[in-house]
């Protein structure tokens, strides 16, 4: 049996009085977030969509291998867009995801691959049904890093 190392999961954002958030993943990755509609880069919704398409694309490749289509699989392209709620609430009402498989795989097998991929994608499975989001109060003293207190 293969022992897989678990990936550290988490993120921290820092934002001053001006500028944009800087986000650091628990594994050490960093990204600057933009918020203006004309700014080039990722805004928070772009990051959500990026997570979704990245996870689905990796899940498609895994599904193709599991279903015996590793040799026929050449590439997958996944595009996603989002529709904001029309009721004025600050949320996404719908994600539209398009999966295009390239390679020597029949349409029937492509459908089976996409179905399996959807069932193993952590991000899409986390978006539906909606997960609990628990906000915790952080105790901050001066410029010291906050200590998180779960509520």
- Residue 66: is the preceding peptide bond cis (ω within 30°)? no
Pick the residue with more confidence: 1 or 19?
19
Whether 54 and 95 map to the same domain: the answer is yes
Residues 68 and 71: their CA atoms lie apart, in Å, by: 8
pLDDT-based confidence at residue 46 (cuts at 50, 70, 90): very high
Whether 30 and 50 map to the same domain: the answer is no
Whether 57 and 30 map to the same domain: the answer is no
Whether 25 and 90 map to the same domain: the answer is no
Whether 128 and 62 map to the same domain: the answer is yes
Q: What is the pLDDT of residue 6?
A: 86
Q: What is the pLDDT of residue 140?
A: 67
Residues 6+ apart with CB under 8 A from 116: 59, 63, 66, 67
Whether 56 and 118 map to the same domain: the answer is yes
Range(s) of the domain holding residue 15:
1-41
pLDDT-based confidence at residue 142 (cuts at 50, 70, 90): low
pTM of the full structure: 0.83
Whether 3 and 51 map to the same domain: the answer is no
Q: Domains in the chain: how many in total?
A: 2
Domain with residue 81: its CATH number is 3.30.300.20
pLDDT-based confidence at residue 128 (cuts at 50, 70, 90): confident
Q: Angle 126-132-136 (CA atoms, 0-180°, nearest 5)? A: 125
Percent of residues, the chain, with pLDDT higher than 70: 90
- What are the pLDDT digits (tens) for 57-103? 999 999 999 999 999 999 999 999 999 989 988 989 899 999 999 99
């Amino acid at each position: 049996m293969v022992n897989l190392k678990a990936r550290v999961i988490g993120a921290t954002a820092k934002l001053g009085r001006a500028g944009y958030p800087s986000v650091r993943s628990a594994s050490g990755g960093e990204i600057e977030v933009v918020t203006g509609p004309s700014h080039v880069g990722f805004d928070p919704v772009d990051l959500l969509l990026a997570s979704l398409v990245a996870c689905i694309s990796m899940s498609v490749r895994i599904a193709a291998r599991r279903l015996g289509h590793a040799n026929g699989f050449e590439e997958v392209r996944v595009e996603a867009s989002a529709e904001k709620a029309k009721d004025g609430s600050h949320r996404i009402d719908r994600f539209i995801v398009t999966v295009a498989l390239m390679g020597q795989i029949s349409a029937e097998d492509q459908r089976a691959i996409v179905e399996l991929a959807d069932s193993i994608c952590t991000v899409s499975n986390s978006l539906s049904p909606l997960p609990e989001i628990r906000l915790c109060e952080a105790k901050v003293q001066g410029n010291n890093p906050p200590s998180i207190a779960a509520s």
